[in-house]
Amino acid sequence: MSFMEIEEVSNCESLPLLSLNHVSILCRSVWASARFYEEVLGFVLIKRPSSFKFNGAWLYNYGIGIHLIENPSLMDEYDSMDEIIRPINPKDNHISFQCTDVGLVKRRLQEMGMRYVTALVEDDGAKVDQVFFHDPDGYMIELCNCENIPIIPLASCPVFKPTSTTTFKKPSPLTGPITGPMAKCGFMENVMMESLSMDMLNFSF
């Protein structure tokens, strides 16, 4: 399935995006955060543009980058919270990584003495195991086997009916009515799953 074929089934013109490039994170200590992303998540330090006049670091792996920016103004805020154990809330903002073995993830985190919480997502018999933990600055990381639940755009399934918990009551004005190839449930799922398989993050320690 080519990008041209994907474009042809879209009812709206989107921006010419390719993929997630990087996530930028403010941190108290570039050294501590870089060490965490290297040793815990397996990222590798890469060359950073020499024109930058502020402390930071770039890391890369799994097809995405982590850009660390040292922010001294965070010191006072976090110093006053050093004795406070921040709860790990799966509903908080977080970065999620696909992994191949959630059990191994939990064992390694235990060996490192890291706090984490787990969650289980179920849908139509499919189950996704999630592990959540914090980086040195309290940003939350999720590792999961999310490929267990297929990616199915709502617009690709004509049988979809809004319920009392659905956040919208009519088709998006951007996508319009469900017609043509979009009306075939599973078509866009196959397109997106093929694209996803090309970029799947093979997480390993």
The catalytic residue among 7, 13, 70, 142 is 142
Strands 64-70 and 56-61: antiparallel
Looking at the DSSP bridge assignments, the partners of residue 94 are: 140
DSSP 13: P
Query: Does 38 qualify as catalytic in the annotation?
Result: no
Element (H, E) at 44: strand 44-46
The span from the CA of 107 to the CA of 21, in Å, is: 30
The first and second tokens of residue 123, run together, are: 């849908």
The first and second tokens of residue 67, run together, are: 């850009």
Which amino acid does the sequence have at 190?
N
Buried b (16+ CB within 10 A) or exposed e, 135-149: bbbebbbbbbbbbee
The span from the CA of 172 to the CA of 167, in Å, is: 11
Alpha helices in the chain (DSSP H): 3-8, 30-39, 74-79, 102-111, 187-199
The first and second tokens of residue 93, run together, are: 């903002």
The first and second tokens of residue 48, run together, are: 């950073």
Which residues participate in catalysis according to the annotation?
A: 142
